[in-house]
Amino acid sequence: MQQHSASIAMATQPNASQPSYVIGVDIGGTKLRLALADISGTVLARWSASTVDIRNADKVVLLIAQGVDILLAEVNANRRTLRAIAAAAPGITDPDRGIVVATSYLMGWINVPLRALLEAELNIPAAIDNDVNLAALGEGRAGIAQGTPDFVFLAIGTGLGAGILLNNQIFRGHAFIAGEIGYILVPGVSEDPIPRGQPGALEQIIGGEGIKSQWQRHWNPSLTKLPLSAAPTEIFDEAITGDTLAQQVLVSTARALSYAIYNIALILNCPLFVFGGTVGLHPALIEATRHALQQRSVRVQPQLLPSALGSDAQLIGAIRLALDTANVSAPKP
Amino acid sequence: MQQHSASIAMATQPNASQPSYVIGVDIGGTKLRLALADISGTVLARWSASTVDIRNADKVVLLIAQGVDILLAEVNANRRTLRAIAAAAPGITDPDRGIVVATSYLMGWINVPLRALLEAELNIPAAIDNDVNLAALGEGRAGIAQGTPDFVFLAIGTGLGAGILLNNQIFRGHAFIAGEIGYILVPGVSEDPIPRGQPGALEQIIGGEGIKSQWQRHWNPSLTKLPLSAAPTEIFDEAITGDTLAQQVLVSTARALSYAIYNIALILNCPLFVFGGTVGLHPALIEATRHALQQRSVRVQPQLLPSALGSDAQLIGAIRLALDTANVSAPKP
């Protein structure tokens, strides 16, 4: 019993020898992921839950709080050991005001004050940012782009987006939508104006859905062993084996992507592009894009490298943002 | 005689009541321009000279020193009143090391230590930067872009280039060649690889020489009153009056330019593009580009405005850089 009382006292009155933690959150369209890390950024525990039927922001925040408590229990700690939390949200975020301005599909949030909701629920400093921006931050601080102050993270999954780090900081632009590269115009894309809410001209070719529609438009059983319903990663797998249609789709995707990279590299003069997302991580796409870029120019030759953190990039980025937030909020000695 | 001695004493031993000056220099392919300004940045005197037969950097520096002395004489001052000098150079510059890495046409400089040459000749702190970057700085500090921390300056003259200000600072990229937009690929440009030293795909359409070759390719006396040898600004003048071929060339130039602006705005999310250069300043081009951009998208609508400083932009930018240099170098009180 004596032992037990001592343990409760420790839990409610933290002292200097007690460890401190931060939480990183990745709010996906279908899945919520949390990770708890120590103040060196090392991940100690993870938790996830489905968000398929959850749209309401208050409910998402309650679910996050539930996950936080489960993670704390796993490391035998309590909420008083938490220094900060940071969340990666899909869509447009205003990190200065802590607001999710708009999410596209699935969540449908408009002007959700996510930072304030998290702070009210957990009583710790909170921060938010766009998920692709945080994936870039993760790669810059703890991934393949460490030591490269200026680089672009390409997120190629269902859609297409970019996170830009300049001088080791996330570059967001005046309305927080820098890196919206799905709309970029390169030779070969449709020049038709894009109705609001529709995928951009480049995304129509390079995003996962775009690759699928390229595939379906040209599908013919005489050209491929794969079915009409093949996924982009299956198409790229098959391209390596010499499948005619799969190779054609790989080459046309890589060419359009190399044009976009070329344009971005001309504007920003950045030496590195990090490929992320389920489609972007495919080695055949990276290799084919590298080849297309080499064909184009000897002058503009940024490195093209796969994400080191893979699907964890935005979660690790959220942890790094939480650590920054904890440091800013820490009382000065 | 008493008066004269006093005057010499003042000239060689400056005191607190004596005014201070800076010099801005614009090294063009055919013309050298200098301006002397007081420490508020107000231009008090100007001087220019031909550089047509001068390639050697030492000779250009001697010519600059000659101009400096003429300007100082105009305001009845001597070299001891000078606080700093800054020069805008055409081509790739490394402002950190003070080196002109390479100029394209005309000068043909390679790794010229221009800052050191100016400092050795004039015994004052010197700084250098690319001319388009300094034109952007001029517009940001003293022109149309004051109060807009992020914007792009488009220099459209014989060729095509951009200077980028982010957070009120020149953004140069890791090898000092950010903003090399003449090579950008948009729908309608040639996809052929560009041999080293040749104009980029976009510059082939939008630069002054590119507009001329569009014109000459389509020229036919049944379509226009203008001669085969018409200049871009004459073509744009005539487009306003309804000349068929002139209108076609204006529209195709504006469309390609609007695509490039759209791409840059997607990447940087910047709210303003400033049009400069002899071709870029033409009101018909700005208006037609604005129209093309409006047709393209309601979401991406940066402001397109003419340079306020016109052909003085890089010279005024050089003066601002000289003022910054003087402030950094000034002994702390």
Asked if B173 lies within 8 A of A297 by C-beta distance, the reply is no
* Angle of helix B244-268 versus helix B232-240 axis, rounded to 10: 110
Asked if B187 lies within 8 A of A187 by C-beta distance, the reply is yes
Residue B226 and residue B238 in contact, taking contact as beta carbons nearer than 8 Å: yes
pLDDT single digits (tens) A66-125: 999 999 999 999 999 999 999 999 989 999 999 999 986 667 899 999 999 999 999 999
In angstroms, rounded to a whole number, what is the distance separating the alpha carbons of residues A217 and B64?
Answer: 64
Q: Return the pLDDT at A105.
A: 61
Q: Return the pLDDT at B16.
A: 54
In angstroms, rounded to a whole number, what is the distance separating the alpha carbons of residues B182 and A267?
Answer: 10
Q: Return the pLDDT at A107.
A: 74
Asked if B263 lies within 8 A of A191 by C-beta distance, the reply is no
Minimal C-alpha gap between B48 and chain A (Å): 32
Q: Return the pLDDT at B13.
A: 43
Cα separations in angstroms, A108 against A62, A86, A155, A176, B291: 18, 20, 21, 18, 32
pLDDT single digits (tens) B120-173: 999 999 999 999 999 999 999 999 999 999 999 999 998 999 999 999 999 999
∠ Cα B49 B53 B59 (to 5°): 70
Q: Where are the alpha helices (DSSP H) in A106-220?
A: 114-122, 131-142, 203-206, 208-218
Minimal C-alpha gap between B206 and chain A (Å): 16
In angstroms, rounded to a whole number, what is the distance separating the alpha carbons of residues A103 and A92?
Answer: 6
Token reading at B190: 């040639």
**Percent of chain B at pLDDT above 90?**
81
Minimal C-alpha gap between A332 and chain B (Å): 28
Q: Return the pLDDT at A16.
A: 54
Q: Which residues are within 8 A (CB) of A203 and not within 5 positions of it... i.e. 6 or more apart?
A: A159, A160, A182, A183, A209, A210
Q: Return the pLDDT at B251.
A: 97
Extract the residue ranges of chain A whose pLDDT is less than 70.
1-17, 104-106, 330-333
Beta-carbon contacts below 8 Å between A and B = 113
pLDDT greater than 50 at residue B12: no
Q: Return the pLDDT at B280.
A: 97
Residues in B 141-200 with any Cβ partner in A closer than 8 A: 149-150, 162, 164, 166, 171-181, 183-189, 191, 193-194, 196
Asked if B267 lies within 8 A of A266 by C-beta distance, the reply is no
pTM confidence score = 0.92
**A41 exposed, middle or buried (CB, 10 Å; 0-12, 13-18, 19+)?**
middle
pLDDT greater than 60 at residue B97: yes
- In degrees and rounded to multiples of 5, residue B275 shows phi and psi of -90, 125
Q: Return the pLDDT at B52.
A: 86
Residues in B 109-148 with any Cβ partner in A closer than 8 A: none
pLDDT single digits (tens) B264-283: 999 999 999 999 999 999 99
| A228 CA to centre of own chain | 29
ipTM of the prediction greater than 0.85, yes or no: yes
Q: Return the pLDDT at B6.
A: 37
pLDDT greater than 60 at residue B14: no
In angstroms, rounded to a whole number, what is the distance separating the alpha carbons of residues B62 and A312?
Answer: 59
Q: What share of chain A is helix, strand, coil (3-state, %, to 5)?
A: 40, 20, 35
* A125-134, B194-203, B297-306, range with greatest mean pLDDT: A125-134
**B265 exposed, middle or buried (CB, 10 Å; 0-12, 13-18, 19+)?**
buried
